[in-house]
Amino acid sequence: MAIKNSINVGIIGFGTVGTGTARILIENADIIRRRLGAPVVLKKISDLDVKRDRGLKLTGVQLTTKAQEIFIDPEIDVVVELIGGYKPAKDFILEAIKNKKHVVTANKALLAVHGEEIYAAAEQAGVTVGFEASVAGGIPILAAVKNGLAANNIKSIYGIVNGTCNYILTLMTNEGRKFDEVLKEAQAKGYAEADPTFDIEGIDSAHKLAVLAMLAYGTPVKFDDIHTEGISKITPLDIDFAKDLGYKIKLLAITKMVDGEIEARVHPTMLPEEYPIASVDGVFNALSIVGDAVGSTMFYGRGAGDMPTGSAVVSDIIDIGRDILAGCTDRTPVTAFRERRPLKIRKMEDITSCYYLRFSAIDKPGVLSRITGVLGKNNISISSMIQKGRKVDEAVPIVMMTHDAIERDVRKALDEINKMDCVAGATIVIRVEEGKQG
Amino acid sequence: MAIKNSINVGIIGFGTVGTGTARILIENADIIRRRLGAPVVLKKISDLDVKRDRGLKLTGVQLTTKAQEIFIDPEIDVVVELIGGYKPAKDFILEAIKNKKHVVTANKALLAVHGEEIYAAAEQAGVTVGFEASVAGGIPILAAVKNGLAANNIKSIYGIVNGTCNYILTLMTNEGRKFDEVLKEAQAKGYAEADPTFDIEGIDSAHKLAVLAMLAYGTPVKFDDIHTEGISKITPLDIDFAKDLGYKIKLLAITKMVDGEIEARVHPTMLPEEYPIASVDGVFNALSIVGDAVGSTMFYGRGAGDMPTGSAVVSDIIDIGRDILAGCTDRTPVTAFRERRPLKIRKMEDITSCYYLRFSAIDKPGVLSRITGVLGKNNISISSMIQKGRKVDEAVPIVMMTHDAIERDVRKALDEINKMDCVAGATIVIRVEEGKQG
């Protein structure tokens, strides 16, 4: 085999991340070559729109509207898929793999749903799929799970992996404003999309969690396995109660190994405000990983944007380039494990957590004892309670913090409580993370 | 070449980190094998004391008092040096390399002084030297610099890399106590050594910085190149002034690329309290890395201890194991760069920083104008000033915060000011980090 003297790259998708990736490959060519020992050459970029000026010096880069011109080009070593979505991204990636191209992608939605098929195809073809950019943008978190913490049994991962949600919650917390209002501002500033559903309903976070949990535990974890709740029901009232109790509310992607089963869930979570991850504000992402040897770690940085995400894409290209130049194939498995085991994903009803419960109860004698009675008979014990304001015969908020309880018991108790005539409206439930972080 | 079906390891040094490393190799053997695809077998451990019970099940592990039995054993693939210090650690490592063993070490002191010789020997022999454990314990920070952020020109690294100092400063800050008293408590609790010089004088931090800066910039950086100040002169008074001004004092290891030159320095630093790294307390370590593409990142975790440091040692063993099993040599250069360039290390007198200056000045008319006059003629301008308490004709503390100034100018001005008859005692100088963190 001829010795390679360059790593040739083609990019499918010349949008935000495609432009950032191209910019890094062009403007940081010197540092990349010095680290790798050979130049990374951006040969081709495909996009439906090749006319728009992206402000880049594209000397020597071929632009095309046909993606297949990239994945069939015999000179291209690495195909970078940055169009996102399921179709035609999946076909492009599988075609590239068939043509023995290494693939780099930032497409968490695709990996969360069709990852197993893609990983298997890559393994069979003897090529690598790099997807560092699919989770938490520029933070090298997948590398940490695959390599840096490889000596550890991962006990848990808690991640703030959606900048839009964290930005909205930060503004709601710091300025006491309502969700709808802050969302509109985030949309105006470009921090939230016109259709924000994927972000605010936790779907994007769940896509990322599927990828992370698969790498952490060496077992397939699919988007459908993940319990997903968003932040649209969080109110300033709950944020205020959280503050009073010493907590902050964050949208967390959580995965844990509990008694040989995996928990994987996305929901608003109350975190003790002294936890490092609780102070991560604005559009920043952060992940706390607890390993049995290393203890508690945290990784923090920008989770989105052209250049941070491009940084992760190019780090994958360099990693693949090192394999190619050293003539080694299949050095690290795409899934981080040589021996994977199908592990059970624990049903949401079976998880154990502490809970914040906010009841809207009519303020009259006997109400508290009826509520606590139902909780008690469902094995839910209370660690603290707050009642603010008194308005006889009107609904007032009563907050109870529970000790560890089983989700199924909580749901059963609330079904009964929510039907009581002295309870006005559905009880608000926010899970509370009280576990030691290493 | 026969296909390897295990990675065989020998450990030199059965102290704290050696024990942690052995414990992980034994107790986490299953997860390591599943990730790597072959078992990592701990074959031998050498130590002067092989009698003491370390609480490990050492079935099949040979104990010896002779280190050479490890580095000459033809069955051993990876030699782990964990005795620390310069002699005989350096000889053991060079002998291991000569015998074509890959080496893993946590020995920052050795690498900061003799690193270049060791890297060159390894490169010539075609073996790897892994030293993730030498900086910030379990935090995979060297991997981040070598791989995860490889697409970036590193603009700066700010690190809290000595847990002893951070523990002492945290107690001084939170409890208003004096250095000597807190040091004694830290010694009693085992967080500081009987001879704490290496830690409290910043020497250990400078050793780690030498390793980090070399990897970040692809140029040799030696311990002697690094300006090093410790924390023994920090007083509760300065911590209080810092608080009033919105800062926290941390011992930072700092390296930056400025106009094509490298700054590398260790000293107490005032950080705006809203910086993520400013809130890192106790024995924890954290490093903020700013890259031109990724922006600001932070990595946080335990920087010392048997298991966290062992986690880093074993991650290096797994990394080397992946190379061995894939049959690839020289995949990633030991120094992270294929093409290194000798870059100038900026002299401390030439750096630019903001400064906190605390004068002990006799409180009488004209003193302020004399001090500010000397500062002004040395190109130092003041951004704010605090004077607390008034005692006519006695020395009172006057604090001035400067705009960006050159160290040489500050030293010259203070030489003159400290000689004034209205100034009682040497002026306290603490550098202030005001740069945007990405």
Cα(A78)–Cα(A21) distance, rounded to whole angstroms? 13
Contacts for A361 with CB less than 8 Å, ≥ 6 apart: A367, A368, A371, A395, A396, A398, A422, A423, A424
Cα torsion angle, A423, A426, A431, A432, sign: negative
Name B255's bridge partners: B157, B264
Nearest-CB residue to B140 (from A144, A295, A341): A144
B49 min Cα distance to partner chain A (Å): 25
Cα torsion angle, B170, B171, B177, B181, sign: negative
Helix (H, G, I), strand (E, B) or coil at B127: coil
Contacts for A81 with CB less than 8 Å, ≥ 6 apart: A12, A13, A89, A92, A93, A96, A103, A104, A105, A106, A107
Which region holds residue A115: left if phi is over 0, alpha if psi is between -120 and 50, else beta? alpha
Query: Which of A294, A298, A328, A340 would you mutate first to test chain B, the one with the most B CBs within 10 A?
Result: A294
Are the Cβ atoms of A297 and B300 closer than 8 angstroms? yes
Are the Cβ atoms of A28 and B151 closer than 8 angstroms? yes
B251 min Cα distance to partner chain A (Å): 19
> Which candidate in B101, B146, B155, B208 is catalytic?
B208
Name A363's bridge partners: A392
Instruction: Report the run of H or E that residue A421 belongs to, with start and end.
Output: none
Is residue A32 over pLDDT 60?
yes
- Which one, of B381, B371, B432, B428, lies nearest residue B405 by Cα? B381
ipTM: 0.96
Q: CA-CA distances (angstroms) from residue B285 to A181, B159, B163, B212, B269? A: 39, 8, 6, 14, 15
Are the Cβ atoms of B143 and A139 closer than 8 angstroms? no
Q: Cβ distance A6 to A36 under 8 Å? A: no
The distance from CA B340 to its chain's CA centroid, rounded to whole angstroms, is 22
Name A266's bridge partners: A228, A253
Per-residue pLDDT of A121-173, as tens digits, reads: 999 999 999 999 999 999 999 999 999 999 999 999 999 999 999 999 999 99
Q: At residue A15, what is the residue type?
A: G
A278 min Cα distance to partner chain B (Å): 11
Residues on chain A touching B333 (C-beta within 8 angstroms):
37
**Please, where are the H alpha helices in B218-305?**
236-245
Are the Cβ atoms of A218 and B35 closer than 8 angstroms? yes
Give, in degrees to the nearest 5, the angle at Cα B228 between B82 and B387.
135
B316 min Cα distance to partner chain A (Å): 8
pLDDT at residue number A2: 55
Cα(B311)–Cα(A107) distance, rounded to whole angstroms? 31
Cα(B362)–Cα(B423) distance, rounded to whole angstroms? 6
Q: CA-CA distances (angstroms) from residue B357 to A279, B412, B420? A: 31, 13, 16
Per-residue pLDDT of A358-406, as tens digits, reads: 999 998 889 999 999 999 999 999 999 998 777 777 889 999 999 999 9
pLDDT by residue for chain B (438 residues), tens digit each?
Answer: 456 899 999 999 999 999 999 999 999 999 999 999 999 999 999 999 999 999 999 999 999 999 999 999 999 999 999 999 999 999 999 999 999 999 999 999 999 999 999 999 999 999 999 999 999 999 999 999 999 999 999 999 999 999 999 999 999 999 999 999 999 999 999 999 999 999 999 999 999 999 999 999 999 999 999 999 999 999 999 999 999 999 999 999 999 999 999 999 999 999 999 999 999 999 999 999 999 999 999 999 999 999 999 999 999 999 999 999 999 989 999 999 999 999 999 999 999 999 999 999 998 889 999 999 999 999 999 999 998 777 777 889 999 999 999 999 999 999 999 999 999 989 999 999 986 543
- Which one, of A257, A285, A254, A282, lies nearest residue A267 by Cα? A254
Q: Is the peptide bond before B88 cis (omega within 30 degrees of 0)?
A: yes
**What number of H helices and E strands is found in chain B?**
14, 17
Name A159's bridge partners: A253, A287
Tokens (6 digits) for A411 = 């749901």
A306 pLDDT band (50/70/90 cuts)? Answer: very high
Query: Which of B9, B147, B248, B306 would you mutate first to test chain A, the one with the most A CBs within 10 A?
Result: B147
What is the separation, in whole angstroms, between the first and last Cα of chain B? 49
Dihedral, B223, B227, B232, B238 alpha carbons, nearest 10:
-150
Cα(B436)–Cα(A91) distance, rounded to whole angstroms? 43
- Which one, of A51, A120, A122, lies nearest residue A81 by Cα? A122
Residues on chain A touching B78 (C-beta within 8 angstroms):
none
pLDDT at residue number A391: 78
Cα torsion angle, A132, A136, A138, A140, sign: negative
Tokens (6 digits) for B37 = 């695809």
Question: Could you confirm whether A208 is annotated as catalytic?
Answer: yes
Cα(A262)–Cα(B226) distance, rounded to whole angstroms? 47
pLDDT at residue number B2: 55
Phi, psi of B238 (to 5 degrees): -70, -35
Is residue A184 over pLDDT 70?
yes
Cα(A316)–Cα(B269) distance, rounded to whole angstroms? 35
Residues on chain B touching A140 (C-beta within 8 angstroms):
143-144, 147-149
